Amino acid sequence: MQAPSFNLCILALLGYSTKIDVNLFKKCLEQTLLKHPRFSSLLVVNDKKRGKCSWRRTRVDLESHVYVPDLEPDMENPDGFVEDFTTGLSRIPLDYAKPLWEVHILNVKTSDANSVVIFKIHHSMGDGVSMISLVLACSKKLSDPESLPVMPSKKQAQTQKQKPCGVVGLMKRLFVAFWMIIVVILNTLIDSALFVATILFLKDSKTPIKGGRRVDRAPKRFVHRILSLDDVKLVKNAMNVSINDVVLGVTEAGLTRYLNRTYVDTTQNHRENGAQVMKKTRALPRHLRLRSAVVFNLRPTPTIEDLAEIMEKEKELNGVWGNLVAIVLLPMTIALQDDPLSYVRRAKATMDRKKLSLESKVVFTALKLLIKLFGIKTAAAVTSAVFRNTTFGFSNVAGPQEEISLFGHPLCYIAPSVHGFPKH
């Protein structure tokens, strides 16, 4: 993704609980981001035909990266203004003559924050995990301004000591292990075949949420909503599932209800007792093919201490930064359920099935091979076909676990999104 052909940009909205002191914000940027190699380098095209690029250090003029529009603080609809402003940024390409990032400071009070800062960063600068690690490396705990925050980490499953078993027990374990290998191989073959079919011809069903032709050039709207993680954890703990299972289940439930409400508005003429009657019909089509292209990180999360040291001493990255992501196709089941928890159970079954597949590693290896053999433009065309033939994208990144200050100001929320399509 370190090439202009991957015309993907990250738009991250940072909500702050105080008004932004512009001079302090710029000073903090100079002490942190400007010392990071990616934020002080130009993306240089070495081989235009194959799309090979490299990074070249340059002197950064902070004033050409930080924008502070003069705004009316008591505007009538600040939330709508921020959404419109973000949408406008998505239509303006980044300038490749300077490092591929910019900051827009909006000192306007919204329903969720007292000010908003929008970062626009080309995706070649790094993936979501790299970016959130950098955010945490630039931040401090509110409770202890001298300390770095704690990095989110996966809880390790507790391993129980295996009791000695006889020949029968050993045979059972060998059989289970052999069966799991067979299942993983079969799932990987099926998922890989479906991925190739999606690139070539397999498209999702036409629905009101499926983008049409030239969707990459259609204007986009950027909207964020803050949900209670406590509610998600309540369902997670009660059902013994993961947070991702709950979020996926809620997404399926929301899409099902939205599509059902959209299709139910159709009416049909019926004749009852000789009279013409107009009746609404529940016309949600069955067997809709609706899939999400899920993008997730394959690289081990860089530590905050490593990134902080990189910026403090202006060291090189040495492989701890960049884009190391994979794409998998996640089928979404659109069907009304009487029990709301059925959506979560079904989501867990889908996720468990995907965990028994090496689709992500196969796709990553194939894309890497395509880039090596045919160049970045071919890989961009393949990636574009996947997103064009599926309905939407899905990704998440774990954020800070405690209240933090970022660039000298207390942070309320982080709302990242991605816009753009790979060019080919």
pLDDT of residue 300: 65
The answer, yes or no, to whether residue 325 has pLDDT greater than 90, is no
pLDDT of residue 161: 55
pLDDT of residue 424: 46
The rounded distance, in Å, linking the Cα atoms of 10 and 12 is 6
pLDDT of residue 187: 95
| Residue 82 pLDDT class (50, 70, 90 cuts) | very high
Residue 67, H or E segment: strand 66-67
**3-state SS, one letter per residue, for 342-410:** HHHHHHHHHHHHHHCCCHHHHHHHHHHHHHHHHCHHHHHHHHHHHHHHCCEEECCCCCCCCCEEECCEE
- Show the DSSP H helices in 201-282 as ranges: 229-239, 243-263
| Residue 350 pLDDT class (50, 70, 90 cuts) | very high
* % of the chain at pLDDT higher than 90: 42
Q: Say if CB 405 and CB 117 are below 8 A apart.
A: no
The answer, yes or no, to whether residue 376 has pLDDT greater than 90, is no
Burial of 338 (C-beta count, 10 Å sphere; 0-12/13-18/19+): exposed
Q: Say if CB 2 and CB 43 are below 8 A apart.
A: yes
| Residue 310 pLDDT class (50, 70, 90 cuts) | low
| Residue 354 pLDDT class (50, 70, 90 cuts) | very high
Express each pLDDT in 275-285 by its tens digit: 655 555 556 77
Burial readout 303-323 (b: 16 or more C-beta within 10 A, e: otherwise): ebeebbebbeeeeebeebbbb
What residue ranges do the domains of the chain occupy? 9-149+202-264+279-419
The answer, yes or no, to whether residue 296 has pLDDT greater than 80, is no
Q: Say if CB 45 and CB 141 are below 8 A apart.
A: no
Give the position of tokens 């996926």: 248
Average of per-residue pLDDT across 187-215: 90
Report the first-to-last Cα separation within the chain, whole angstroms.
13
Q: pLDDT higher for 122 or 303? A: 122
The rounded distance, in Å, linking the Cα atoms of 189 and 357 is 9
The rounded distance, in Å, linking the Cα atoms of 89 and 101 is 12
- Among 1-10, 61-70, 201-210, 410-419, name the one with the lowest average pLDDT: 1-10
pLDDT of residue 6: 59
Sequence-ordered list of residues with C-beta below 8 angstroms from that of 327, at least 6 positions apart, any chain: 293, 294, 295, 360, 363, 383, 386
Q: pLDDT higher for 5 or 162? A: 162
DSSP-assigned beta bridge partners for residue 417 = 11
The answer, yes or no, to whether residue 2 has pLDDT greater than 80, is no
Q: pLDDT higher for 198 or 396? A: 198
Average of per-residue pLDDT across 188-207: 94
Cα torsion at 369, 374, 380, 381 (round to 10°)? -110
DSSP-assigned beta bridge partners for residue 297 = 325
Express each pLDDT in 86-105 by its tens digit: 999 988 888 989 999 999 99
pLDDT of residue 165: 66
The rounded distance, in Å, linking the Cα atoms of 6 and 384 is 9
Residue 66, H or E segment: strand 66-67
pLDDT of residue 80: 92
Burial readout 270-282 (b: 16 or more C-beta within 10 A, e: otherwise): eeeeeeeeeeeee
Catalytic residues: 123
Express each pLDDT in 137-193 by its tens digit: 888 888 888 888 876 665 554 545 556 667 787 888 898 899 999 999 999 999 999
pLDDT of residue 55: 86
What mean pLDDT is reported for the chain? Answer: 83
| Residue 330 pLDDT class (50, 70, 90 cuts) | very high
pTM of the model: 0.84
- Among 115-119, 204-208, 270-274, 287-291, name the one with the lowest average pLDDT: 270-274
